[in-house]
Amino acid sequence: MRLKNYVLYNSKKYASQWLVLAIDLFIVATSFILAYLIRFDLTLGFNPEPFLKQLPVVIVIAALSFLIVKSHKGVIRHTGFRDIIRVFMAVVLFFGFTVSFVLLNREMAFMEGFTIPISIIMIHSLLSFVALSSSRVLFKMSYKYMTCKTKYAKNIMIYGAGDAGIITLNALLSNHNQKVNIIGFIDDNEAKKGKSINGFTIYGRECLNEKFVERYQISEIIVSIQNLPTQKFRGIVNDLIELSVDVKAIPPFENWINGKLNADQIKQVQIEDLLDRDPIDINNPVIGRELEGEVVLVTGAAGSIGSELSRQIAGYKCKRLIMVDQAESALYDLQQELLQQKRDNIIPIVADIRDKARVDHIFNEYKPTMVFHAAAYKHVPLMESNPYEAIKINVGGTKIVADASSYYKVKKFVFVSTDKAVNPTNVMGATKRTAEMYISCLQNESETKYIITRFGNVLGSNGSVIPLFRKQIEKGGPLTVTHEKVTRYFMTIPEASQLVLEAGAMGKGGEIFIFDMGESVKIFDLALNMIRLSGLQYPTDIDIKITGLRPGEKLYEELLANGENTLPTYHNKIKISKARPVNYARVKPVIEEICISNFFQNNSIVMKLKELIPEYVSNNSVFEKYDRKQEKITDNRKKVLTSNFFEKVEN
């Protein structure tokens, strides 16, 4: 049985190689006949007796050349440029052996009367190279044609007929795992229109319409242009997704594997690529110097921002990274991820930041020198119905960690806030604004430098709208949007985390860092684009359902509160909010009272928050009734209330 399997294995492995060698020798023999015909003006006016003596010698020399170069071992249906080079080397070697044999025979006469005219050898070598190369290319094209015409093949267009487009074409043709049928190229350059590349026609952009797509049954278009400006890329993709085709793009050149594009690297265009903003590029060596040798503590380390902060901080030369979170499973996953990256300076700690004794123990044992506080409850509707929990985590938890940072003389404390803290309309935003105010109080009396960062929605974070839409698309819809006009700011998780690190590096204490997040995005348009990027049509395939604003939700978000201005930093997209000064003597006791209160009545909690934050006006919430009570207060009373908590800004 083993002998049989061995024979079968070797027959499959080597049979094709010997078949290729036999076909190559047949081509060489045929070419030798053609060489004689060409030499004698396509007539049989030559003596066949010397020819018959020469042919076996030519075949033997050719076989020896092919075996030395191993040109017969290439997989013919996957013939590439290197295979053609190998054939060329075999023909050159064959030419050299043949000429040498003929010249030596003239001198030594070991085959009496044997010779081959040099002109015949040259013509034969040239014909052999052309025939051998052509046979391989012809077989490859025939194989591709037969496989690509099956029902499983995808019809693909390549957008861009430049160098990147040609590289993409070659990557697709050399991909053995997927059957594709390339229709041609699309290019904006009128000079290229109507021409062809490797037999594939170049079409103008105006040709690309629904009739064209339907005519050629195009299912996929790949954008293959390097260094394409962001706005132009978005414009191209927005036009393409109107055609109900899959839109893909090649990665930047620096992400290619060993400088070569692999077909597997061509990915579906994501909704993140279409957001109307350019990413903030931060490459500041100061961050590395700031973290080097420090003991860094990250709260909420298993969350979206906290985990990315941990990944980035672990990449610097910090002495130790303390990762604190109460989510055991998520923290374990992060630990294993970092350990696989050989990050051995990490210490994961399962703890609740509301536990003052536990937090004090962590600070006392590990002596952190920098703290990044990302732990928080962030879901607006949930916190609207659970104000007590929002207070305990977002305010009480922040207070405990911030106080410990001050007591143990931490160098810098960086607080991750949100744009919902600006003119809050919900409990979550109000608690984050309260935490900001308390941190500002500590800055006034502590050696620790307290820094605040504000940003909008984070793409791909737990519970964010884009993962929700993806799940709804997988289920066949509908996509749920709270309001047709609702807008939000967006940025990526790595980008947001990098900003927090940047704030920690540039902050001197007391600043609120905000940054240019581009134009706000209309959520309805976001849902529409996600449907189209999935190759589906609205509303025939998937509908969008308007559900109404959720409790506490705004139509739009703000990055600056009323009366706030900005100051520039050394980065043109990062600003410092010039916030209204807080009357620390009045604000801090009220916040401390809120944190130690054990009342579970939501109304009492919200009234305390509204008392503390005059600009907190509920929206689409059961707590709006307390705003109506405030409306009865006279203008003078409003001024007095405001002055109790905010000092006037001096010019």
Give the tens place of pLDDT for each residue, 51-108. 788 888 888 988 888 888 887 776 666 676 778 888 899 889 988 888 888 888 887 8
Boundary residue ending a domain (144, 167, 193): 144
Question: What's residue 503's pLDDT?
Answer: 83
Question: What's residue 579's pLDDT?
Answer: 67
In this structure, are 205 and 331 located in the same domain?
no
Q: What is the dihedral of CA 619, 462, 501, 331, to 10 degrees?
A: 130
Q: Cα–Cα distance between 299 and 385 in angstroms, integer?
A: 24
Question: What's residue 582's pLDDT?
Answer: 73
In this structure, are 504 and 619 located in the same domain?
yes
Question: What's residue 537's pLDDT?
Answer: 81
Structure tokens at 598: 């054990």
End-to-end CA gap in the chain: 96
Three-state DSSP class for 197? strand
Higher pLDDT, 274 or 419: 419
Higher pLDDT, 367 or 142: 367
In this structure, are 296 and 177 located in the same domain?
no
Q: Is the pLDDT of residue 449 over 70?
A: yes
Is 70 a domain residue? yes
The region of weakest confidence among 423-437, 479-493, 505-519 is: 505-519
Boundary residue ending a domain (87, 120, 144): 144
Q: With beta carbons less than 8 A apart as the criterion, state whether 626 and 607 touch.
A: yes
Structure tokens at 286: 């100061």
Q: Given the residues 248, 420, 554, 608, select the one marked as catalytic.
A: 420
Q: If you average pLDDT over residues 346-355, what whole number do you get?
A: 96
Is 110 a domain residue? yes
Percentage, residues of the chain above pLDDT 90: 26
CB atoms within 10 A of CB 519: 10
Among 421, 412, 420, residue whose Cα is nearest residue 510: 412
Q: Cα–Cα distance between 283 and 505 in angstroms, integer?
A: 12
Q: Is the pLDDT of residue 393 over 50?
A: yes
Structure tokens at 386: 């659970």
Question: What's residue 295's pLDDT?
Answer: 96
Q: If you average pLDDT over residues 567-594, what whole number do you get?
A: 77
Q: What is the mean pLDDT of the chain?
A: 82
pLDDT, tens digit, 9 for 90 and up, residues 166-200 = 888 888 877 766 778 889 999 988 889 889 888 89
In this structure, are 121 and 173 located in the same domain?
no
Burial (CB count within 10 angstroms: exposed 0-12, middle 13-18, buried 19+), residue 496? buried
In this structure, are 339 and 257 located in the same domain?
no
Q: What is the dihedral of CA 216, 221, 225, 228, to 10 degrees?
A: 120
In this structure, are 111 and 183 located in the same domain?
no
Is 544 a domain residue? no
Is 476 a domain residue? no
Is 397 a domain residue? yes
Overall pTM > 0.75: no
Residue with tokens 């242009």: 225
Among 508, 581, 540, 47, residue whose Cα is nearest residue 290: 508
Residue 177: domain span: 149-269
Question: What's residue 633's pLDDT?
Answer: 41
Question: What's residue 559's pLDDT?
Answer: 62
What is the gyration radius of the CA atoms in the chain, in angstroms?
36
The region of weakest confidence among 33-37, 231-235, 278-282, 430-434 is: 278-282
Q: With beta carbons less than 8 A apart as the criterion, state whether 211 and 228 touch.
A: no
β-sheet bridge partners, residue 197: 200
- Interior CA angle at 138 toward 132 and 144, to 5°? 140
In this structure, are 301 and 446 located in the same domain?
yes
Structure tokens at 146: 């037969």
Question: What's residue 650's pLDDT?
Answer: 36
Is 363 a domain residue? yes
Alpha-helical runs (H) found in 109-162: 118-148
- Interior CA angle at 58 toward 54 and 64, to 5°? 150
In this structure, are 445 and 312 located in the same domain?
yes
Higher pLDDT, 599 or 573: 573
- Maximal C-alpha separation, the chain: 126
Q: Is the pLDDT of residue 646 over 80?
A: no
The region of weakest confidence among 344-358, 469-483, 593-607, 626-640 is: 626-640
Residue with tokens 């903003």: 277
β-sheet bridge partners, residue 248: 222, 268
Burial (CB count within 10 angstroms: exposed 0-12, middle 13-18, buried 19+), residue 622? middle
Is 387 a domain residue? yes
Boundary residue ending a domain (210, 239, 269): 269
Higher pLDDT, 279 or 93: 93
The region of weakest confidence among 86-90, 148-152, 155-159, 597-601 is: 148-152
Q: Cα–Cα distance between 164 and 640 in angstroms, integer?
A: 66
Q: With beta carbons less than 8 A apart as the criterion, state whether 25 and 63 touch.
A: yes
Q: If you average pLDDT over residues 395-413, what whole number do you get?
A: 96
In this structure, are 401 and 445 located in the same domain?
yes
Q: Cα–Cα distance between 464 and 468 in angstroms, integer?
A: 7
Three-state DSSP class for 458? strand
Question: What's residue 569's pLDDT?
Answer: 75
Higher pLDDT, 536 or 248: 248
Q: Where is 11: in which H helix or E strand? A: helix 2-39
- Cα 15 to its chain centre, rounded Å, is 45
Question: What's residue 638's pLDDT?
Answer: 41
**Up-side HSE of residue 451: CA atoms within 13 Å toward CB?**
25
Percentage, residues of the chain above pLDDT 70: 83
Question: What's residue 637's pLDDT?
Answer: 36
Q: If you average pLDDT over residues 440-455, what whole number do you get?
A: 90
Residue 583 belongs to domain with CATH number: 3.40.50.720
Q: Please tell me whether the peptide bond between 539 and the residue prior to it is cis, using omega within 30 degrees of 0.
A: yes
Question: Judging by DSSP bridges, how do beta strands 449-453 and 412-416 pair with one another?
Answer: parallel
Q: Residue 237 — φ and ψ, nearest 5°?
A: -65, -40
Is 130 a domain residue? yes
In this structure, are 615 and 513 located in the same domain?
yes
Question: What's residue 114's pLDDT?
Answer: 77
Query: Among this protein's residues, is 420 annotated catalytic?
Result: yes
Number of domains in the chain: 3
Alpha-helical runs (H) found in 393-542: 398-407, 427-443, 465-474, 493-506, 523-533
Higher pLDDT, 559 or 289: 289
Three-state DSSP class for 603? helix
pLDDT, tens digit, 9 for 90 and up, residues 510-529 = 888 887 676 778 889 888 88
Three-state DSSP class for 270? coil
In this structure, are 138 and 158 located in the same domain?
no
Q: If you average pLDDT over residues 193-212, what whole number do you get?
A: 88
In this structure, are 497 and 369 located in the same domain?
yes
pLDDT bin (cut points 50, 70, 90) of residue 270 is: confident
Question: What's residue 641's pLDDT?
Answer: 38
Q: If you average pLDDT over residues 262-275, what whole number do you get?
A: 74
Higher pLDDT, 29 or 560: 29
HEC string for 303-326? CHHHHHHHHHHHCCCCCEEEEEEC
